[in-house]
Amino acid sequence: MYSATHEGDMSSPSTSAQPCRRFSLEEIQSATNNFDDKLVIGEGGFGKVYKGRITIEETSHFVAIKRCDYRSDQGASEFRAEIEMLSKLRHCHLVSLYGFCDVEKEMILVYEYMPNGTLHDHLHKAATHLTWVQRLKIAIGAARGLDYLHTGFGTHQGVIHRDVKSSNILLDENWEALISDFGLSKIGPTNQSLSFIDASVKGTFGYLDLEYFYTGKLTRKSDVYSYGVVLFELLSGRLPVDKKYGEEDCSLVRWVQKCVKERKVDQMVDSNMSGIFPKCVKQFVQIAHPCLSSVPKERPNMTEVVASLQALLKLHEQLEASAVSPTGLTSKMHKYFGLSPKLNSPKLNSGIDRLFVFCVCLLFLFVPDI
């Protein structure tokens, strides 16, 4: 298994890595109540994830403990890759690895605990729904994390994540997005093109860059494509592949391409989402759609995506501020009629409707306490 440079921490001699502690199996068993199923907070092909509490340098921490399934063909290699990657990288939008345990057949990773779980669960399973601003900020956070990986800031090496998806975007107590799961990642110098010919294509169906799938050429733009799928998942609330929409529309990417071609971008908006302006929908699609280009060179890089999404957030804030006039007339109108200045607001179609609203406006102006 993976060996540490000395007892208690692990680092690579080629980097100034942060210490990564090696935990004993007894510590892990104590933290998980001997892998009690009641503490399971996640489960997949890799194994189970437990919520636990562990002491590090005399301080108690809530942690997420991933117990990898040793029977997995890729288990050992992905386990080593995860330790190597997260020991080198530190960023506020990447999940932190506290340590690992590799006793006998056990492959266990100990991460900081994310109390709000995965983006996937909030989009597809949770009873409460994320607002537009929450989704936009999550998109920005994830983009910043990927930009850090791709540009190699502070590490002199770039990283291709290779499995960007909503279930690998975790949310902390402030709903900030952190990218997780680096078992499939590839690392290389940033002064090169950072591309690989990958004989064994890896990733998740529905998020996988088709150009990478067909050619085996892995680049940063492969991550950009997968991230583009996440953006439309955020906007629509739809799964990347969902058979309930029928054969023609089961693919989120194909459905998006059709909506863009037919200029029906308003139909992409999740009906459970509140607080989005039509102008923001249009601009969001203009940012996200190029990420899905079949030609990798036509996709933006993550630095450009971050800048564009930040500008979109600023636009939303400006529209939000201008939605209420200094007199408060607009907000009173919305409250009185039950209208919203945002997407899908009822329209006043007849002359009688407009005359009625005009009269009510005069009432609001001259009778301020109405």
Active site residues: 163
Cβ(239)–Cβ(252) under 8 Å?
yes
Q: What does the alpha-carbon distance between residue 230 and residue 87 come to, in Å, rounded to a whole number? A: 26
Cβ(115)–Cβ(173) under 8 Å?
yes
Contacts of 39 (CB under 8 A, 6+ apart): 32, 33, 50, 51, 52
Q: How many Cα atoms sit within 13 Å of 200 on the Cβ side?
A: 4
Residue the block writes with tokens 């994540």: 161
| DSSP 8-state code for residue 5 | S
Burial bucket for residue 30 (CB in 10 Å: 0-12, 13-18, 19+): middle
Q: What does the alpha-carbon distance between residue 319 and residue 324 come to, in Å, rounded to a whole number? A: 9
Q: How many CB atoms lie within 10 A of CB 200?
A: 6
Both tokens of 14, joined, read 């080629």
Q: Which runs of E-coded beta strand occur in 21-160?
A: 21-22, 40-44, 47-56, 59-68, 97-101, 107-112, 157-160
Q: Which of 240, 221, 96 is nearest to 161 (CA)?
A: 221
* Three-class DSSP category at 98: strand
Cβ(277)–Cβ(322) under 8 Å?
no
Contacts of 123 (CB under 8 A, 6+ apart): 130, 166, 233, 234, 237
| DSSP 8-state code for residue 298 | G
